[in-house]
Structure 1
């Protein structure tokens, strides 16, 4: 294990004189607001090198700043305590570095992405599993078929697509449907049916919750075994979750108002997420996404995305496609 920068030995009992000064300057620059990348550039320009002779990088500067040993400290159950060896900087400076690191993480954290086709609205064309929202290694939002976990939950894991690419594609077709004559009247009629469906779902949820309470009472009176109760409770809970998800979208579909937007493209681009989700659910029963013909393809190839239209759209083909 290489020694820590600023120390003369792996046990960190002695400071290394020719590294203490540069380390303190690096910390001082950090606390003055310089980025780790800028600090690395400065250190390399001054001829300073890491303990293995390599140049400083953003990541290596960050690792050094996160190590409490540089201040003669260590973590004990999450608390900073005296490590019993000298430090190149003060404990107060290390605390300030830790606060800076927290601020950096918050500043670089990717904001939550509101997926248009979540909760079963799009599925894997290969295995039928619901695609889930998942960011790529680069941090961009996407949809993916998650591979099976150790408990057998999941799909084939072979379908991925950039969220913006898929959602823009679906949005173009939905807006095209909105441009059809008489579509607004059909939407109003569909919303009436959806309101009735929402009431049915509320009754279903109430019934399921009652069954769950009954199962708990039977288990409490030892009328059923623990295994029987756990199995029943798991199934009922899954059904309640599914019904609540359907109810949430039904209520969105029932309550949104398209208004009198003259420019439907502009309306779609600026509409609230809930309104776009509601329209998408009204028009489309589901969206199927198939694997690309090769890795790295960033376009929608013919037949890769299949749109299954609802009766509202008035399409003669039940599956639709794009």
Structure 2
């Protein structure tokens, strides 16, 4: 259900890397490799080919629901969306069952450019999520409907094509301004500094949990306060890991030798584009459709990142 065990996760990532190789070993060879290295299923059994493939091809491995939409606040994933798409394209079951009857072909997951906090509702400021209104609808971004504990309005929606195209045009225009390379270098260094801080913060989580347990054990923290502090620490750790994963992609981006940013953008993988967008902007607010429904540029408000 999305909770990662470090040892299990490492084995699944090794299997995915092997299967994505060209030429790739057989699925049976991959299973033998995992079992020989001591990797086991969540139930402690040796891997079998059918179990491994069913696990790796499941959308939750990339933090997606059954419709291919990102699950809000899912946290760390086994696979990136791009890896999930490649594995499904290469190994998804046939479109016909054993009796030759046509099966519904799973829709490929859409790799959203502006999730993970890069886009937000222009009315309530809640982070936007990737979603489709119906099974056949085009991918889009929306403010999630309000629920208990979620302070969102659910009143803003925009198709992915319109939003991503408009943001990409403005980002590329910004990158063609004079002196941008120096500014990007300073912003990237700021992000690298935050990555170092977040890594230390995440690594210190066990110590923080231990200190809470010690206070509770010595009677210095009543049970209700202990449980509340523990829940807050867990939530902080989850959010920190998610932010760290996103910032690591930005910190690892290398565009120092790029001379034609438009050509680079047109050929770059989505993960690199997302990292570049995250380097340049803090967030893009999506305004309600009354703010210029025929021009997507009139419906976005970009908060640009500035170096410290």
TM-score bin (small chain): 0.5 to 0.7
Aligned counterpart for 2:142 among listed residues 138, 141, 144: 144
Aligned counterpart for 1:127 among listed residues 119, 124, 127: 124
In structure 2, the CA distance between the partners of 1:101 and 1:191, relative to structure 1 (3 Å rule), is farther
Task: Say if 2:301 is the partner of 1:306.
Answer: yes
CA shift, 1:218, in A, is 4.7
CA shift, 1:262, in A, is 4.3
CA shift, 1:162, in A, is 0.6
Confirm or deny: 8 A CA contact 2:119 2:128 kept in the other structure.
Answer: yes
Aligned counterpart for 2:234 among listed residues 237, 255, 273: 237
In structure 2, the CA distance between the partners of 1:299 and 1:226, relative to structure 1 (3 Å rule), is farther
In structure 2, the CA distance between the partners of 1:102 and 1:311, relative to structure 1 (3 Å rule), is farther
CA distance in 2 between counterparts of 1:140 and 1:220 reads 54
Tell me the equivalent position of 2:163: 166
Q: Secondary structure of the equivalent of 2:103? A: helix
Confirm or deny: 8 A CA contact 1:120 1:131 kept in the other structure.
Answer: yes
Confirm or deny: 8 A CA contact 1:209 1:240 kept in the other structure.
Answer: no
CA shift, 1:101, in A, is 9.5
Confirm or deny: 8 A CA contact 1:144 1:161 kept in the other structure.
Answer: yes
Structure 2: unaligned runs, 5 residues or longer:
1-95
Tell me the equivalent position of 2:267: 270
Using the size of structure 1 for normalisation, the TM-score is: 0.58
Confirm or deny: 8 A CA contact 2:187 2:306 kept in the other structure.
Answer: no
Structure 2 matches for 1:182-261, cutoff 5 A?
A: 182-219=179-216, 224-258=221-255, 260-261=257-258
Tell me the equivalent position of 1:41: none
Tell me the equivalent position of 2:109: 112
Q: List per-residue Cα deviations over 1:275-318 (Å, max 9, x = no partner).
A: 21222122111111111129xx9643564210111225x9xxxx
Structure 1: unaligned runs, 5 residues or longer:
1-96, 315-322
CA shift, 1:266, in A, is 2.7
CA shift, 1:217, in A, is 4.8
Q: Secondary structure of the equivalent of 2:153? A: coil
Q: CA RMSD in A?
A: 2.9
Confirm or deny: 8 A CA contact 1:291 1:304 kept in the other structure.
Answer: yes
CA distance in 1 between counterparts of 2:130 and 2:184 reads 28
Which structure: larger Rg? Answer: 1
CA distance in 2 between counterparts of 1:229 and 1:140 reads 46
Confirm or deny: 8 A CA contact 2:157 2:288 kept in the other structure.
Answer: yes
Equivalent residues, number: 212
